[in-house]
Amino acid sequence: MLVGLDLEQAGLPAGLVGLTLGIGLAAASLTGLAAAALSARYGRRVTLALAGVLMAATGVDLAAANQPLVLTLSGVTGMLGAASVDLGPFAAVEQATLAESVPDRQRNRAFGRYSLTGGLFNAAGGLAAALAGSHPRGFFFLYAALGVATAALPLLMSGRVETSRGLPAFGRLRPLLGLSALFALDSVGGGLVANAVIAYWLHVRFGASPALLGPVFAAVAVLQSASYEVSGRLADRVGQINTMVFTHLPSNVLLLLVPFSPNLGWAVALLLARFALSQMDVPARQAYVVSIVPPSERAGAVAVTGAVRGVAQGLGAPLAGIAIGAAAFGLPFYAAGGLKIVYDLALFAAFRGRSDANVG
């Protein structure tokens, strides 16, 4: 949010602002691949520290630079700490480490707590960003300081977080190909109903004001974070694939119902119900991906699936622009809901027989 505002205030035209943000999001997704390769060669702690340094450099660049070219190049290092709680170099290494830090039977709940923590801090960052108003530069220096802390903390971690070095980070990709294709389909659908599209639709259809939309999306963040904890417990009972499908599918049915809302109250209620379920698949997906590959390939598996999802979101950006133009008619909800339901049914059909070992 602050990045776009600052770039606009610096005089960048709308097209260049979009290009910079697009570069940042794409880089944040693709840097997971580099992080996986570096962690296999130089270790996980060094890789996380380097990612923190790049995060700090991005913050300093955004805070101090005034030239359009320099600002645009800030996207090359990616919005490493801001793109998503489930993409980027941190996620690839952290999730591989987390999988080996707890017994297999506790993996689902551990990933639920991991996502819960990330979601709550992400929501807190969004609320703090609102304090920046029209002067975001100071917050970018704070972002850089957090990058420095992020670079230092991994060096204090125990050597037990490391895995055997010299083994290939990217081994057998075949088990991930079909899964990645399905994740890409889901991500394209998700791009069609990004929060900006939903907020615009609520404004056009029902006249919702920013004063109302702010609390609504704050509630969305809280509901999503709480759902992560429930997801870990549910996956212990019914399995990871079942958790992914049986929570995601109802949320997409609710998404299809949103355009039929007779008033703003109904629309908000359906959206909140949808968001309470829509992210419960995240911890289960994370735990499943690291469980189907050998330990040395876990960071690579997270990076590959994350890169595919991130690129798919990038490809969905032009479609989202078209969707915004047609938002008053609810077309984004129909398209996204349909794509996501196809994803849910295909995932269940293809992977339901591959139950995980953590069901109790």
- Top-ranked range on mean pLDDT: pick from 120-134, 244-258, 328-342: 244-258
Mean pLDDT of 18-35: 72
- Whether 313 has a pLDDT exceeding 80, the answer reads no
Confidence band for 272, pLDDT divided at 50, 70 and 90: very high
CA 208 – CA 286 distance, rounded (Å): 35
Q: Which residues have a Cβ under 8 Å from the Cβ of 137 and sit 6 or more positions away?
A: 6, 62, 63
CA-based max dimension of the chain: 60
Confidence band for 12, pLDDT divided at 50, 70 and 90: low
- Whether 287 has a pLDDT exceeding 70, the answer reads yes
288, 356 contact by CB (below 8 A): yes
Averaged confidence pLDDT in the chain: 81
Mean pLDDT of 46-50: 93
- Secondary structure in 3-state letters for 101-165: HCCHHHHHHHHHHHHHHHHHHHHHHHHHHHHHCCCCHHHHHHHHHHHHHHHHHHHHCCHHHCCCC
Mean pLDDT of 183-198: 83
CATH number of the CATH domain containing 32:
1.20.1250.20
- Whether 242 has a pLDDT exceeding 90, the answer reads yes
Q: Name the residue among 205, 210, 341, 219 with its Cα closest to residue 260.
A: 205
Q: 212-237 pLDDT, tens per residue?
A: 877 888 888 889 989 999 999 999 99
Mean pLDDT of 43-64: 86
Examine residue 164 and state whether it is found in any structural domain, yes or no.
no
Examine residue 30 and state whether it is found in any structural domain, yes or no.
yes
Choice among 65-74, 92-101, 102-111 with the minimum mean pLDDT? 65-74
Examine residue 162 and state whether it is found in any structural domain, yes or no.
no
Confidence band for 358, pLDDT divided at 50, 70 and 90: very low
CA 51 – CA 171 distance, rounded (Å): 23
Examine residue 357 and state whether it is found in any structural domain, yes or no.
no
Confidence band for 359, pLDDT divided at 50, 70 and 90: very low
Mean pLDDT of 7-21: 60
CA 40 – CA 168 distance, rounded (Å): 7
Model pTM?
0.80
Q: 288-302 pLDDT, tens per residue?
A: 999 888 888 888 899
Examine residue 360 and state whether it is found in any structural domain, yes or no.
no
Q: Which string of DSSP letters, residue by residue, matches 44-63?
A: HHHHHHHHHHHHHHHHHHHH
Mean pLDDT of 242-261: 95
CA 178 – CA 59 distance, rounded (Å): 37
92, 36 contact by CB (below 8 A): yes
- Whether 53 has a pLDDT exceeding 60, the answer reads yes
Q: Name the residue among 230, 236, 321, 349 with its Cα closest to residue 282.
A: 230
274, 254 contact by CB (below 8 A): yes
Domain count, the chain: 1
Q: Between these two residues, 165 and 242, which has the higher pLDDT value?
A: 242
Choice among 57-66, 181-190, 197-206 with the minimum mean pLDDT? 57-66
Q: Name the residue among 129, 13, 2 with its Cα closest to residue 58.
A: 2
What type of residue sits at position 275?
Answer: F
Confidence band for 199, pLDDT divided at 50, 70 and 90: confident
- Top-ranked range on mean pLDDT: pick from 29-43, 191-205, 263-277, 286-300: 263-277
In terms of phi and psi (left: phi > 0; alpha: psi -120 to 50; beta: otherwise), the region of 52 is alpha
Q: Between these two residues, 73 and 260, which has the higher pLDDT value?
A: 260
Confidence band for 160, pLDDT divided at 50, 70 and 90: confident
Q: Between these two residues, 133 and 306, which has the higher pLDDT value?
A: 306
Examine residue 356 and state whether it is found in any structural domain, yes or no.
no
Per cent of the chain over pLDDT 90 is 31
Examine residue 278 and state whether it is found in any structural domain, yes or no.
yes
For residue 124, what pLDDT is reported?
75
Examine residue 161 and state whether it is found in any structural domain, yes or no.
no
For residue 360, what pLDDT is reported?
42
CA 260 – CA 325 distance, rounded (Å): 18
Mean pLDDT of 273-281: 94
CA 193 – CA 174 distance, rounded (Å): 30
| Structural domain that includes position 134 | 2-156+173-351
